[in-house]
Amino acid sequence: MANDNKKTLRLVLGDQLNAAHSWFKTVDTSVVYVLMELRSETDYVQHHIQKVIGFFAAMRHFAAELQQMGHNVHYIRLNDASNLQSFAGNCAGLISTGNFSRFEYQKPDEFRIDEHLRQFAESLEIPHEALDTEHFYSTRNELQSFFSGKKTYLMESFYRYMRKKHGVLIENGDQPLHGKWNFDEDNRRSLPKGHHPPPPLLFDNDLTHLEAEIHKAGVKTLGAVDSRNFIWPVNRAQSLKLLEFFMDNCLPLFGTFQDAMAPGEWSLYHSRISFSLNTKMLSPKEVVDRAILEYQKRPDEIAYHQLEGFVRQIIGWREYMRGIYWMKMPDYAEMNYFAHSEKLPRWFWDGNTRMNCLKNAVKQSLQFSYAHHIQRLMITGNFALLAGVDPDEVDRWYLGIYIDAIEWVEITNTRGMSQFADGGIVGTKPYVSSAAYISKMSSYCQGCYYDKSKKTGERACPFNSMYWNFYNRHEDKLSKNPRIGMAYNLWKKMQSDQKTALLEQADYYLKNINDL
């Protein structure tokens, strides 16, 4: 690099692939953008091979896109001899050898990297600046300000505030379109027998070279991949194509079946754009605007509740979870309200269990690095909570196995919504269920080794006895929760011998959990 006292080094992270950022509006030859593939990022948990390939492929495409726009880009590959395998190490080396006079970076979405880069920047003897990613609807601290002085943080309240602030699905100044803020009650149907959603749009990216590089580096991964036909979008053009496929084929029935589950139907009517959103190849605003436009174009085909349910996931839950993350970290990562300490069952890593729902959810996750929100919450998460698994274990599994999992959104959904380890910051009650809910929302129970209708005895569904064992075990912490009073009323009315049988059944299953 030439000796130039006015050169700026700008770091772009693997989840900051936003070509619309103001950084890139003008080409400045004195600015060098650096992207890097690091062992620090592949190794902090064991990731799905599709996740590692997906991020690195998207980063390489983005670097090429910036170069085509005329920007100077320095790209550090995983196996480059000069790669020091950390953001600070590589940036320090570049600043030293390249005689940069300024360092800039966009604020990371993960607390871990935010601290790493803050400390690095403060150690520099040259000016430095951290800028906004220009991606989210809300700022890092907006939720904290909104709930200032309040003891509870209801997503619904923040969702309504965001709708009003940004004028999304609003009429007459500040009123919700069609008279209600939330149409969730219309979005809870199971998939009818014989109903088949459209086959999902899959890409056929040939990334065999990238898989080989990852294996050569010795990165330990989980799951499977066909790297000759990598199915996920790895650039903005493919991300937009996936978004359009959702609008054309899935939005008309998205809300109705967003909680449904069925063997062999892994994609259903979901958009599967979370990887593109979380890497910032797509922006939440363009996604919401595009969905509203589709609804306006096809009012006879797309009922309003389909649209509202989709918009709520993005402008509601996604922004809410990020706000909780920045308000409560780093303490949030240590929360363990129930003091759970068990290990994940071995079959979480291979899906070899006789429980049909868990076999399907886990094997699907290993095959596609994907499961939709109800599979994560009410199948794998539900079981882990009933089994008393250490939330650290659950966090690591979810963060590693899903292609869209970045800590700011994963940990709030897992440790908060799914495991209630935060004691009720995110969710107002633990999301646990017996087999009845799983049977209602899926066809998993059909043909299962276990009998959904049996609570005790041979082949009784483990969810049934473990459900009551969970409530009995945590009665001191949960009995006064108004949202689950009915469960405790039923428990108190049971005969003592029935209670004993349920607890003994659960105890047997918990002691033999790896053999279920």
Task: Write out the two tokens for 354.
Answer: 């006789």
pLDDT at 400: 98
pLDDT in tens, 298-355: 999 999 999 999 999 999 999 999 999 999 999 999 999 999 999 999 999 999 999 9
Residue type, 339: A
**How many CB atoms within 10 Å of residue 92?**
16
CATH architecture of residue range(s) 8-131 = 3-Layer(aba) Sandwich (3.40)
Domain 142-328 has CATH 1.10.287.70: no
Task: Write out the two tokens for 139.
Answer: 């700022």
pLDDT in tens, 344-395: 999 999 999 999 999 999 999 999 999 999 999 999 999 999 999 999 999 9
Cβ atoms 56, 37 nearer than 8 A: yes
Task: Write out the two tokens for 373.
Answer: 């929100």
User: Cβ contacts of residue 98 below 8 Å, gap of 6+?
Assistant: 1, 7, 9, 32
Separation CA 286–CA 284 (nearest Å): 6
Dihedral angle over CA of 277, 280, 282, 283, nearest 10: 90
Separation CA 394–CA 385 (nearest Å): 9
- For residue 1, pLDDT over 80 is answered with no
CA 346, 347, 352, 357 torsion: positive or negative? positive
- For residue 173, pLDDT over 50 is answered with yes
pLDDT in tens, 188-236: 788 998 899 999 999 999 999 999 999 999 999 999 999 999 999 999 9
Residue type, 6: K
What are residue 451's DSSP bridge partners?
Answer: 460
Question: Taking all residues of the chain, what is their mean pLDDT, rounded to a whole number?
Answer: 95
Categorize the per-residue pLDDT at 3 as very low, low, confident or very high, splitting at 50, 70 and 90.
Answer: very low
Residue type, 119: Q
Task: Write out the two tokens for 58.
Answer: 């998207």
DSSP symbols for 174-239: TEEGGG-S--GGGS-PPPPTT--PPPPP---B--HHHHHHHHHTT---BS---GGGB-S--SHHHH
Map out the domains of the chain as residue ranges: 8-131, 142-328, 346-515
Distances (CA, A) of 446 to 194, 443, 451, 452, 516: 14, 6, 9, 9, 17
- For residue 162, pLDDT over 60 is answered with yes
pLDDT in tens, 50-89: 999 999 999 999 999 999 999 999 999 999 999 999 999 9
Task: Write out the two tokens for 100.
Answer: 């940069």
Separation CA 504–CA 474 (nearest Å): 16
pLDDT at 151: 85
Q: What is the 3-state secondary structure (H, E, C) of 52-100?
A: HHHHHHHHHHHHHHHHHCCCEEEEECCCCCCCCCCHHHHHHHHHHHHCC
Categorize the per-residue pLDDT at 2 as very low, low, confident or very high, splitting at 50, 70 and 90.
Answer: very low
What are residue 370's DSSP bridge partners?
Answer: none
Separation CA 394–CA 384 (nearest Å): 7
Cβ atoms 344, 200 nearer than 8 A: no
Strand pairing class (8-11; 31-36): parallel
pLDDT in tens, 230-262: 999 999 999 999 999 999 999 999 989 999 999
Give the DSSP H or E segment for 361.
Answer: helix 356-368
Residue type, 401: I
CATH architecture of residue range(s) 346-515 = Orthogonal Bundle (1.10)
- For residue 14, pLDDT over 90 is answered with yes
Determine what percent of the chain is predicted with pLDDT higher than 90: 93
- For residue 184, pLDDT over 90 is answered with no
Query: DSSP secondary-structure letter at 457?
Result: S
Question: What backbone phi and psi angles, to 5 degrees, belong to 359?
Answer: -60, -45
Cβ atoms 292, 169 nearer than 8 A: yes
Distances (CA, A) of 323 to 132, 155, 376: 15, 10, 21
pLDDT in tens, 266-307: 999 999 999 999 999 999 999 999 999 999 999 999 999 999
pLDDT at 485: 86
pLDDT at 5: 65
Residue 193 or residue 127, greater confidence: 127
User: Cβ contacts of residue 323 below 8 Å, gap of 6+?
Assistant: 138, 140, 141, 142, 143, 144, 146, 158
Over residues 427-436, mean pLDDT = 94
pTM for this one? 0.95
